Every structure is written in structure tokens, then in C-alpha cells.
Structure 1
Amino acid sequence: MKLSKILSVLTLITGAIAISITSIWIGKQAYSWLPPQAAAESHLIDDLISFLVTLGAFIFLGVTSTLMYSVIFHRAEKGDLSDGPHIEGNVTLEVVWTAIPIMLVLWIAGYSSQVYEQMGIQGPTQLVHLHNPVGMESAYAAPQEGVMSEPVEKIDVIAKQWAWVFHYPERNVTSTELHLPSDRRVRLALQSEDVLHGFYIPAFRLKQDIIPSHTIDFEFTPIRQGQYRLTDSQYSGTYFATMQANVVVESDEDYHKWLAKIATQKPAPANNQAASEYAQTANEPVKNGWDTVVPAAPPVVNYSG
């Protein structure tokens, strides 16, 4: 084997190793780009994102490095204006660069589908049949030490234009702020009173569409105490951006103290930004903008946050 070929092979191997190590390092950095993992299911999504970032970095660096190598070492000499050699094609090469993307797409699809099933997100097929397929559990994640796997808290979630209402059957109380016990399995019964809404908590990596006329059970396990944000991930009308709520994850003791406290409070109308903005617009002497659906009346709850 000629020295030039040996050097080319060594260069190729060294470059591949360098690109692989760099890609893995970039993929690890993806974890720091995301919010804190506040639910046991978070690591499933974070691992998937890290995998996709690693794969994307490897492809980008590989293509870029190949282009730079060709430009530096295989460029035409100065003053050479002749055409390059005529090449009919290489069947082997064409098969390889067709097969590799297909395999990558199947790999990504398989991994993503596995995560989707482990999260237990209700897709269109499940909604049509109104049940989970065999072997799928809502928002399933591998059990963690100190985390109970059985649902111990059941909370009703009512979405409407444009407010969130949370009902706690244990004390028969309601609030516009979602409180959850840490390290305990939670089951939410998601309902919509009007149109399609989306239950989305970025810190939990959980998003579930809420379909009118259907009650969707959704399970997960909060593991990090703190305050987070719930938003409507679906466009549900003019004031959908105001449809947000605080999510408070606290210790089991503090959670039950909070329930006992608000059970002593009389229900009262909660502040509702959508209703306030609509009323302000309706009272203006000159009508501006487009007609919109009248927001639902401010919810009457024991605790408005």
C-alpha cells in the first residue's frame, strides 16, 4: 500500500474519531439547554433530544469536514481551467448514501415511537377507541427510588375559553392554580368545555391535547419542588395566550395543608385576564379589531392563586 493511501486511511479514521467525540460532547450539552427536569418522565424526552442533537452534530461535522478536506487537498492548481474527469457513476456509493439516510430515519422513528409509548400520550387512534392500547400506560417512566408508581392523587382539569380550573375531589375544592405533591404519582382527568386545548408544562416535558366531549386520563410523577408554568399549546381562539396557570409542586405534607386551607375558603370569582381584556374592549366607544368569541365567565373557585 502506498504511503499516500496509508495517510489517507489514518486521516479518515482520526477524523471520524474526532467527529464522534465532538458530537457526543455536543449532545451532552443539550441537557443544559432545557428547563430543569421536574417530572420523572422528563428524562425520556431529554434523552431523545440529546440523541437527535448528537446525530445532527455528527452529520453536520461529517459533511462540513469532508467539504473542507476536499477544498484544501483536492483543489485545482492555480491556472488550471480544464474540466474534471468524466465519471459515469458509482453504484456502490449511490446505494450506500441512499441506505444510510433510510436507516437513520428508521432509527429515529423507532426511538421516538418508543418514547411516545412510554410517555403514554393519547394520540388520535387512542381517542377514537377511547382507551389505551394494550401495554401502554399514561406517562409511564421507569420507577425511581422514593417515587410511588401507583396514582395517589386524582385531579380534574377543566379547560375553557380562556381559563384553567382544577378540581380536587379529595376535598371537593377548586382553584385556578395547579398544586401537586412531589414524588407522588398524579392522575389528571383532562376535559374541555368548548374547543381543542393543549395541556403543556415545559418543565415536565408533558403535552396532551384535550378533546371536547372526552375525558382523558393523564398520569405523571412530579419530582422537583418549585413553581412552573402551564400553557395552552393549541390555538383556542383570540385570547388563548392569556390561558396560563401556575403549577406548584410541593411536599406531600404542604400539599395536604394547602388543600385543608382552601377548603375553609368560600368560592369566589377568580381574576381572568381574557374576560377583563374583552370587557375593556367592549366598553370602548370605537370598535377596533375583529369580532371574537365572548370569553367564559371568570371561574368561581376556592383559591385563585
Structure 2
Amino acid sequence: MLRIIEYLVFAIGAAAIIVVSYLMGQWSYSWLPVEASTDAQRIDDLFCFLVTLGSVIFFGVIGMILFSLIAYRAPKGDYSEGHPIRGDWKLEVTWTAIPTLLVLIIVGYSFIIYQKMDIAGPTRVLGELPVGIQRANAQTINQNIADTELIEVISQQWDWTFRYPKQNVVSKELHLPSNQRVRLVLQSKDVLHGFYVPEFRIKQDIIPNRNINFQFIPTRVGKYQLHDSQFSGTYFAVMQADVYVDTPQDYVRWLAQAANHPSNTLSLAASEEAQPPHQVFKSNWYTVLPAKPKEVDSSNFALRNFTNDQ
């Protein structure tokens, strides 16, 4: 009878863990910014899957610990040794097979998401795809290469510049047409930078002396923020730029306006550098002044240098 109760408690606990983990996974969607590209939903689904699986592992381990503390608690005054489990091949196979299976599930699902993604960037850098992986073909609108909007993204410490070669427009703001494939040519003039817009769920390293093609389809009209995801120097944290996803009509209108009135936005890094130094708070922890350097007699200094040279 006691064994039946243990099995029943274990089954109820397992069901509760599955339900709570599923709810945690669904809740994880609210942790992320809005979805503004065709690939954002796929990335969010993968994140939800990982949160759900991680919750199952976390609550499962905690549940087993609590179950063991309650169900197999030694009686008061019992100091005898526990049941020996060394050399149990069934247990060893179990704790080896389960993590292996979980890793294979994560790899398989991640690979499926990778195949469905419309981003093309790292393949241009490597020159070839990994063995056994086929190129991911886009399955959304605007498949014609002629319809792809080409934009050059030039990064340098600590500023972004965007050039539209077809319209001969140079801007400090990145404007993108909605529901149309965009191909960014990422360039760096100095060090390693990173193109990262959280709402697009895309991030691409920018390597100096290389042109990296990067494609995606923005879908949500609005204003977003471009960040440098790499530590590119002192002011990398303020290396930001405004990103606008416009309707096709507004995008054409902005291109015509930008061609006649180029933007002269001040770099945030330059603004930060121009700020006078200020003290956020006074800690009353006074710094010890450095000791005064000792005076060196010129004759002794010359003699010591002569001895060292010998």
C-alpha cells in the first residue's frame, strides 16, 4: 500500500512539473521584445522550447530531492548506513542516456529552426557550409533578388553610417521597408563590431576588411535601436543608431527627402566625450596621495648606469 502511495505521489508530481514547465515556456514569450522580423517568431519558439525543457529539468531535480527527503527520511536515532548504490549499471545508464537524449533533442530542434531562418550572413564569411547542412531557402514573400533592398552598413569607433548605393544616399539612420527582403553589406573600418537589433532577433559580427552579406525581412513598422554587440572600445555602449521600419510608401518618401537633405546626427560617443567629468556621489573614501619620488644625485645616477652597462 505504501508503495502505491509513493507511485501516486510521483505521478502527480510529474504531471505538475510538466504543466508548470509548459506555463513557464508560454510565459517566456513576454520576456522578449516585440517581434519585428520574419525570423523573430522562430527564435522565440526556440527560446520557449529551451525554457520549457530547462524548467522540466530544474523542477524535476528539485522535486526528486524533496521527495527523497520526505519519503526516505531516516527515523530519528537511525545512524545506520544507507542502501549501497555503487556499481548500479542501470542507474549509470539512466543518468547518461537522459542528458544525451536531451542534448540531441535540443540540437535537432535548433537545426530545424536554423534551416527555416531567412538570414544569410555567416555562409558568406566561411565560404562554404558545414558538412551535411544545406542552404536555407527563404519561404516568405519577395523572393526575387531584384526586389531586395541593398544597404551598406559601415561601422567604426564609435559610429554607424548607412549608405544606399542605388539612391546615392548616406544617412546616420537606418531606414528599412517593411515586408521586403533587405540585404545589408556589413563593413568595419577598424575593429570587430556587432550588428544587433533585439526586436529583429538577429546579431551578426562585423569583421574588418570583409564584406559580410546579411539578409532578413522586417515586418513591424516602428522605431528600434541598433546596438554594437561587441566590446569595440571605450564608448561601445553608446554606439547606437535609430532604426526605422517604414511602409513602402514612407520608405520611398524618406529616400527622396534624404537625397536632398543629408542627416547630420551627432555621434553619441562624441557627446559623451564632450561631457565634463562629474562625481555621481561622494563616498568619503579618500585616496592616499602617492609618495614623493626620491631625489637622485646626478653623479650617483651616472655611476650606477655605468656599472649596469659593464
Relative distance call for 1:277 and 1:88 in structure 2 (3 A) is closer
- Which whole-Å deviations, capped at 9, do the CAs of 1:213-258 have from their partners, x for residues lacking one? 1111111111111111100001111121121001111211111111
- Which one is further off, 79-88 or 185-194? 79-88
Unaligned segments of structure 1, at least 5 residues: 282-305
Residue 270 of structure 2 corresponds to residue 275 of structure 1: yes
Q: SS at 1:157's partner residue?
A: strand
CA RMSD between the two structures: 2.4
Counterpart in the other structure of 1:289: none
**Which residue, 231, 234, 237 being the options, matches 1:235?**
231
**Which residue, 133, 150, 156 being the options, matches 2:152?**
156
Counterpart in the other structure of 2:26: 28
- Asked if structure 2 preserves the Cα contact closer than 8 Å seen for 1:225 and 1:251, the reply is yes
Unaligned segments of structure 2, at least 5 residues: 277-310
Relative distance call for 1:268 and 1:218 in structure 2 (3 A) is closer
Residue 31 of structure 2 corresponds to residue 4 of structure 1: no
Paired amino acid for 1:148: N
Counterpart in the other structure of 2:12: 14
Counterpart in the other structure of 1:104: 102
| 1:53-202 to 2 correspondences below 5 Å | 53-119=51-117, 120=119, 122-123=121-122, 127-129=125-127, 135-137=134-136, 142-143=139-140, 147-150=141-144, 151-202=147-198
- Which whole-Å deviations, capped at 9, do the CAs of 1:72-104 have from their partners, x for residues lacking one? 222112232333234443211111111111121
Relative distance call for 1:219 and 1:121 in structure 2 (3 A) is closer
TM-score between both structures, scaled by the size of structure 2: 0.80
Paired amino acid for 1:210: I
- Asked if structure 2 preserves the Cα contact closer than 8 Å seen for 1:200 and 1:207, the reply is yes
Distance 1:170 1:122 in 2: 21
Distance 1:37 1:141 in 2: 18
TM-score between both structures, scaled by the size of structure 1: 0.81
Distance 1:210 1:14 in 2: 51
Relative distance call for 1:269 and 1:246 in structure 2 (3 A) is closer
Counterpart in the other structure of 1:262: 258
* Aligned residues with identical type, % of pairs: 50
Residue 226 of structure 2 corresponds to residue 226 of structure 1: no
- Asked if structure 2 preserves the Cα contact closer than 8 Å seen for 1:40 and 1:141, the reply is no
- Asked if structure 1 preserves the Cα contact closer than 8 Å seen for 2:22 and 2:52, the reply is yes
Counterpart in the other structure of 2:202: 206
- Asked if structure 1 preserves the Cα contact closer than 8 Å seen for 2:154 and 2:160, the reply is yes
Number of equivalenced pairs: 272
Paired amino acid for 2:218: P
Relative distance call for 1:15 and 1:245 in structure 2 (3 A) is same
- Asked if structure 2 preserves the Cα contact closer than 8 Å seen for 1:149 and 1:184, the reply is no
Distance 1:69 1:268 in 2: 65
Relative distance call for 1:132 and 1:70 in structure 2 (3 A) is closer
